[in-house]
A and B are shown apart, each in its own frame.
Chain A
Protein backbone atom coordinates (compact mmCIF):
# COMPACT_ATOMS: atom_id res chain seq x y z
CA UNK A 1 0.00 0.00 0.00
CA UNK A 2 1.01 3.56 -0.45
CA UNK A 3 2.70 2.71 -3.70
CA UNK A 4 -0.08 3.85 -5.92
CA UNK A 5 -0.96 7.41 -5.15
CA UNK A 6 -3.27 7.70 -8.12
CA UNK A 7 -5.51 4.97 -6.84
CA UNK A 8 -5.84 6.43 -3.41
CA UNK A 9 -7.49 9.46 -4.92
CA UNK A 10 -10.04 7.39 -6.78
CA UNK A 11 -10.69 5.34 -3.66
CA UNK A 12 -11.67 8.42 -1.74
CA UNK A 13 -14.12 9.59 -4.37
CA UNK A 14 -15.87 6.37 -5.27
CA UNK A 15 -15.61 3.92 -2.41
CA UNK A 16 -17.77 0.87 -2.85
CA UNK A 17 -18.53 1.40 -6.51
CA UNK A 18 -17.32 -1.03 -9.10
CA UNK A 19 -16.99 1.45 -11.91
CA UNK A 20 -14.41 3.83 -10.52
CA UNK A 21 -11.93 1.39 -9.14
CA UNK A 22 -10.02 -1.47 -10.56
CA UNK A 23 -11.50 -4.81 -9.75
CA UNK A 24 -9.46 -7.92 -9.23
CA UNK A 25 -11.02 -11.23 -10.05
CA UNK A 26 -10.06 -14.67 -8.76
CA UNK A 27 -11.78 -17.36 -10.80
CA UNK A 28 -13.46 -20.50 -9.54
CA UNK A 29 -10.46 -22.71 -10.25
CA UNK A 30 -7.94 -20.50 -8.54
CA UNK A 31 -6.61 -20.95 -5.03
CA UNK A 32 -4.85 -18.08 -3.32
CA UNK A 33 -3.05 -18.60 -0.02
CA UNK A 34 -1.23 -15.92 1.85
CA UNK A 35 -1.49 -12.23 2.31
CA UNK A 36 -3.51 -10.02 -0.01
CA UNK A 37 -3.48 -6.28 0.40
CA UNK A 38 -4.02 -3.10 -1.52
CA UNK A 39 -6.78 -1.09 -3.09
CA UNK A 40 -9.45 -1.92 -5.58
CA UNK A 41 -12.33 -4.29 -5.41
CA UNK A 42 -12.03 -8.03 -5.34
CA UNK A 43 -14.39 -10.66 -6.62
CA UNK A 44 -13.59 -14.15 -5.38
CA UNK A 45 -15.06 -17.24 -7.00
CA UNK A 46 -12.44 -19.73 -5.91
CA UNK A 47 -10.65 -20.48 -2.67
CA UNK A 48 -8.87 -17.92 -0.56
CA UNK A 49 -6.92 -18.60 2.58
CA UNK A 50 -5.04 -16.12 4.66
CA UNK A 51 -5.01 -12.50 5.54
CA UNK A 52 -6.74 -9.83 3.47
CA UNK A 53 -6.59 -6.12 3.85
CA UNK A 54 -8.48 -4.41 1.06
CA UNK A 55 -9.19 -0.79 0.51
CA UNK A 56 -12.28 -1.62 -1.49
CA UNK A 57 -15.20 -3.95 -1.79
CA UNK A 58 -14.93 -7.71 -1.42
CA UNK A 59 -17.47 -9.96 -3.10
CA UNK A 60 -17.44 -13.63 -2.15
CA UNK A 61 -19.35 -15.38 -4.93
CA UNK A 62 -21.54 -18.46 -4.35
CA UNK A 63 -18.82 -20.84 -5.56
CA UNK A 64 -16.16 -19.32 -3.33
CA UNK A 65 -14.75 -20.33 0.01
CA UNK A 66 -12.80 -17.77 2.01
CA UNK A 67 -11.00 -18.67 5.21
CA UNK A 68 -9.05 -16.25 7.28
CA UNK A 69 -8.92 -12.72 8.45
CA UNK A 70 -10.52 -10.18 6.14
CA UNK A 71 -10.59 -6.41 6.34
CA UNK A 72 -12.36 -4.38 3.67
CA UNK A 73 -14.50 -1.33 3.15
CA UNK A 74 -17.57 -3.37 2.39
CA UNK A 75 -18.16 -7.08 2.01
CA UNK A 76 -20.85 -9.09 0.27
CA UNK A 77 -20.87 -12.82 0.96
CA UNK A 78 -22.79 -15.27 -1.20
CA UNK A 79 -20.51 -18.23 -0.65
CA UNK A 80 -18.66 -19.71 2.28
CA UNK A 81 -16.69 -17.75 4.79
CA UNK A 82 -14.98 -18.71 8.00
CA UNK A 83 -12.80 -16.53 10.12
CA UNK A 84 -12.91 -12.92 11.05
CA UNK A 85 -14.56 -10.34 8.84
CA UNK A 86 -14.14 -6.63 9.41
CA UNK A 87 -15.81 -4.03 7.21
CA UNK A 88 -15.45 -0.29 7.55
CA UNK A 89 -18.87 0.34 6.03
CA UNK A 90 -21.07 -2.70 5.72
CA UNK A 91 -21.41 -6.45 5.50
CA UNK A 92 -24.14 -8.13 3.53
CA UNK A 93 -24.87 -11.85 3.69
CA UNK A 94 -26.79 -13.25 0.73
CA UNK A 95 -29.18 -16.14 1.16
CA UNK A 96 -26.69 -18.67 -0.21
CA UNK A 97 -23.99 -17.66 2.26
CA UNK A 98 -22.60 -19.92 4.94
CA UNK A 99 -20.61 -17.88 7.42
CA UNK A 100 -18.89 -18.80 10.63
CA UNK A 101 -16.70 -16.66 12.78
CA UNK A 102 -16.61 -13.08 13.87
CA UNK A 103 -18.18 -10.18 12.01
CA UNK A 104 -17.42 -6.56 12.75
CA UNK A 105 -19.09 -3.73 10.86
CA UNK A 106 -21.19 -0.63 11.50
CA UNK A 107 -23.92 -2.03 9.24
CA UNK A 108 -24.96 -5.59 8.72
CA UNK A 109 -27.65 -7.02 6.50
CA UNK A 110 -28.69 -10.61 5.98
CA UNK A 111 -30.98 -12.22 3.49
CA UNK A 112 -33.44 -14.86 4.66
CA UNK A 113 -31.72 -18.22 4.38
CA UNK A 114 -28.23 -17.01 5.13
CA UNK A 115 -26.40 -19.21 7.60
CA UNK A 116 -24.43 -17.41 10.27
CA UNK A 117 -22.71 -18.99 13.22
CA UNK A 118 -20.60 -16.74 15.32
CA UNK A 119 -20.17 -13.42 16.87
CA UNK A 120 -21.32 -10.03 15.63
CA UNK A 121 -19.96 -6.74 16.76
CA UNK A 122 -21.36 -3.46 15.50
CA UNK A 123 -19.52 -0.24 15.98
CA UNK A 124 -20.44 3.22 14.92
CA UNK A 125 -17.56 4.61 12.95
CA UNK A 126 -15.70 6.96 15.26
CA UNK A 127 -14.41 9.16 12.48
CA UNK A 128 -16.63 11.59 10.60
CA UNK A 129 -17.76 9.07 8.03
CA UNK A 130 -20.75 9.74 5.78
CA UNK A 131 -22.40 6.62 7.24
CA UNK A 132 -24.08 8.66 9.97
CA UNK A 133 -25.11 11.35 7.52
CA UNK A 134 -27.81 13.27 9.38
CA UNK A 135 -25.82 13.98 12.49
CA UNK A 136 -22.61 14.93 10.77
CA UNK A 137 -24.36 17.30 8.44
CA UNK A 138 -25.95 19.13 11.36
CA UNK A 139 -22.71 19.32 13.21
CA UNK A 140 -20.94 20.81 10.25
CA UNK A 141 -23.57 23.48 9.85
Chain B
Protein backbone atom coordinates (compact mmCIF):
# COMPACT_ATOMS: atom_id res chain seq x y z
CA UNK B 1 0.00 0.00 0.00
CA UNK B 2 2.77 2.43 0.89
CA UNK B 3 4.98 1.57 -2.06
CA UNK B 4 4.08 4.51 -4.31
CA UNK B 5 4.14 7.15 -1.64
CA UNK B 6 7.36 8.91 -2.54
CA UNK B 7 7.90 11.93 -4.78
CA UNK B 8 6.85 11.90 -8.39
CA UNK B 9 3.81 9.86 -7.58
CA UNK B 10 0.46 10.25 -9.25
CA UNK B 11 -2.70 10.50 -7.25
CA UNK B 12 -5.85 8.99 -8.63
CA UNK B 13 -9.46 10.05 -8.49
CA UNK B 14 -11.19 6.88 -9.59
CA UNK B 15 -14.35 6.64 -11.65
CA UNK B 16 -17.00 6.48 -8.92
CA UNK B 17 -15.54 9.40 -6.98
CA UNK B 18 -16.79 12.99 -6.92
CA UNK B 19 -14.77 15.82 -5.40
CA UNK B 20 -16.00 19.34 -4.90
CA UNK B 21 -13.42 21.71 -3.56
CA UNK B 22 -9.75 22.34 -3.84
CA UNK B 23 -6.99 19.91 -4.73
CA UNK B 24 -3.44 21.11 -4.49
CA UNK B 25 -0.03 19.57 -4.22
CA UNK B 26 3.39 18.77 -5.56
CA UNK B 27 2.46 15.72 -7.54
CA UNK B 28 0.50 14.66 -10.58
CA UNK B 29 -3.16 13.79 -10.62
CA UNK B 30 -5.14 11.38 -12.74
CA UNK B 31 -8.88 12.00 -12.82
CA UNK B 32 -11.29 9.32 -13.99
CA UNK B 33 -14.08 10.60 -11.78
CA UNK B 34 -15.48 14.07 -11.31
CA UNK B 35 -13.76 17.11 -9.89
CA UNK B 36 -15.32 20.51 -9.42
CA UNK B 37 -13.49 23.48 -7.98
CA UNK B 38 -9.83 24.29 -8.03
CA UNK B 39 -6.87 22.12 -9.01
CA UNK B 40 -3.33 23.38 -8.44
CA UNK B 41 -0.52 20.98 -9.17
CA UNK B 42 3.22 21.16 -9.56
CA UNK B 43 2.92 18.04 -11.67
CA UNK B 44 0.60 17.07 -14.48
CA UNK B 45 -3.15 16.76 -14.68
CA UNK B 46 -4.38 13.81 -16.66
CA UNK B 47 -8.10 13.56 -17.29
CA UNK B 48 -8.96 10.03 -18.41
CA UNK B 49 -11.78 8.91 -20.66
CA UNK B 50 -14.95 9.49 -18.68
CA UNK B 51 -13.26 11.93 -16.35
CA UNK B 52 -15.04 15.25 -15.90
CA UNK B 53 -13.26 18.32 -14.57
CA UNK B 54 -15.07 21.59 -14.06
CA UNK B 55 -12.42 23.65 -12.42
CA UNK B 56 -9.85 26.34 -12.37
CA UNK B 57 -6.71 24.40 -13.20
CA UNK B 58 -3.06 25.26 -12.84
CA UNK B 59 -0.72 22.40 -13.75
CA UNK B 60 2.46 21.63 -15.66
CA UNK B 61 1.02 19.51 -18.45
CA UNK B 62 -2.70 19.05 -18.91
CA UNK B 63 -3.67 15.96 -20.88
CA UNK B 64 -7.33 15.57 -21.68
CA UNK B 65 -9.07 12.38 -22.76
CA UNK B 66 -12.29 13.21 -20.96
CA UNK B 67 -14.03 16.54 -20.48
CA UNK B 68 -12.56 19.70 -19.02
CA UNK B 69 -14.48 22.92 -18.50
CA UNK B 70 -13.07 26.07 -17.00
CA UNK B 71 -10.05 28.23 -16.87
CA UNK B 72 -6.88 26.25 -17.40
CA UNK B 73 -3.25 27.20 -17.12
CA UNK B 74 -0.87 24.60 -18.49
CA UNK B 75 2.61 25.84 -17.70
CA UNK B 76 4.09 23.49 -20.26
CA UNK B 77 1.54 21.94 -22.59
CA UNK B 78 -2.15 21.39 -23.08
CA UNK B 79 -2.93 18.22 -24.93
CA UNK B 80 -6.46 17.36 -26.01
CA UNK B 81 -6.56 13.80 -27.26
CA UNK B 82 -9.08 12.55 -29.79
CA UNK B 83 -11.65 11.54 -27.16
CA UNK B 84 -11.16 14.78 -25.22
CA UNK B 85 -13.30 17.88 -24.92
CA UNK B 86 -12.17 21.24 -23.69
CA UNK B 87 -14.49 24.16 -23.01
CA UNK B 88 -13.21 27.40 -21.66
CA UNK B 89 -10.18 29.54 -21.44
CA UNK B 90 -6.71 28.11 -21.67
CA UNK B 91 -3.27 29.57 -21.25
CA UNK B 92 -0.42 27.27 -22.20
CA UNK B 93 3.15 27.33 -23.43
CA UNK B 94 2.29 24.85 -26.14
CA UNK B 95 -0.76 23.06 -27.51
CA UNK B 96 -1.41 19.71 -28.98
CA UNK B 97 -4.93 19.10 -30.22
CA UNK B 98 -5.55 15.76 -31.89
CA UNK B 99 -7.95 15.04 -34.69
CA UNK B 100 -11.42 14.45 -33.30
CA UNK B 101 -10.82 16.47 -30.19
CA UNK B 102 -13.15 19.31 -29.25
CA UNK B 103 -11.68 22.64 -28.24
CA UNK B 104 -14.14 25.42 -27.65
CA UNK B 105 -13.09 28.68 -26.16
CA UNK B 106 -10.13 30.94 -25.86
CA UNK B 107 -6.50 29.99 -26.05
CA UNK B 108 -3.55 32.09 -25.06
CA UNK B 109 0.13 31.35 -25.28
CA UNK B 110 2.57 31.77 -22.46
CA UNK B 111 5.40 33.67 -24.10
CA UNK B 112 8.42 31.82 -22.86
CA UNK B 113 11.49 34.04 -22.84
CA UNK B 114 14.25 32.02 -24.50
CA UNK B 115 16.53 30.85 -21.74
CA UNK B 116 20.19 29.99 -22.22
CA UNK B 117 20.24 30.71 -25.92
CA UNK B 118 23.19 33.03 -26.55
CA UNK B 119 24.15 30.94 -29.56
CA UNK B 120 21.44 32.41 -31.78
CA UNK B 121 22.50 36.07 -31.45
CA UNK B 122 25.67 36.47 -33.60
CA UNK B 123 24.52 36.33 -37.24
CA UNK B 124 23.21 39.92 -37.62
CA UNK B 125 25.71 41.71 -35.40
CA UNK B 126 28.90 40.44 -36.86
CA UNK B 127 28.44 42.52 -40.04
CA UNK B 128 29.75 45.66 -38.27
CA UNK B 129 33.04 44.05 -37.57
CA UNK B 130 33.48 42.98 -41.12
CA UNK B 131 32.97 46.52 -42.41
Q: Give A contacts to B, CB under 8 Å.
A: 1, 3-4, 7, 21-40, 42-43, 45-46, 50, 55-56, 59, 61-63
Asked whether, in the complex, the Cβ of A26 is within 8 Å of the Cβ of B15, the reply is no
Please, could you name 13 A-B residue pairs with CB atoms under 8 Å apart, sorted by A? Answer: A7-B15, A22-B16, A24-B33, A25-B12, A29-B9, A30-B11, A30-B26, A31-B25, A33-B21, A36-B21, A38-B16, A40-B16, A45-B2
B29 contacts chain A at the CB level, 8 A cutoff? yes
Contact A35 B24 (CB under 8 A): no
- Would B24 and A63 count as touching, CB distance under 8 A? no
Interface residues in chain B, defined as those with a beta carbon under 8 Å from any beta carbon in chain A: 1-2, 4-7, 9-27, 29, 32-34, 37
**A contact residues around B10 at 8 Å (CB):** 27
With A26-B11, A27-B10: A42-B21 Cβ-Cβ less than 8 Å: no
Of the candidates B16, B18, B22, B32, the one whose C-beta lies within 8 Å of that of A32 is: B22
A81 to B11, CA, bound (A): 20
Min distance, Cβ B104 to any Cβ of chain A, angstroms: 23
CB distance from A32 to the nearest CB of B (A): 5
- Is the CB–CB distance between B12 and A24 below 8 Å? yes
**Inter-subunit contact B14/A40 (CB<8 Å):** yes
Q: Is the CB of A34 within 8 A of B21?
A: yes
Asked whether A24 lies within 8 Å of B18 as measured between CB atoms, the reply is: no
Query: Contact: B26 with A29, CB < 8 Å?
Result: yes
Residues B9 and A27 in contact, CB atoms below 8 Å apart: yes
Q: Smallest distance from the beta carbon of A76 to chain B beta carbons, Å?
A: 10
| Contacting pair B24 A30 (CB below 8 A) | yes
Q: Which of A24, A46, A61 has the most CB of B within 10 A?
A: A24
Evaluate contact between A24 and B27: CB separation under 8 angstroms: no
Assembly CA distance A46 to B13 (angstroms): 14
Please give me the residue from chain A that is nearest to B37 by CB atom. A34
Known: A32-B22, A63-B5. A27 touches B16 (CB 8 A): no
Contact B23 A31 (CB under 8 A): yes
**A45-B5, A59-B1, A61-B2 known; A34-B11 Cβ under 8 A:** no
Question: Which among B9, B17, B29, B33 has the greatest number of chain A C-beta atoms within 10 A?
Answer: B17
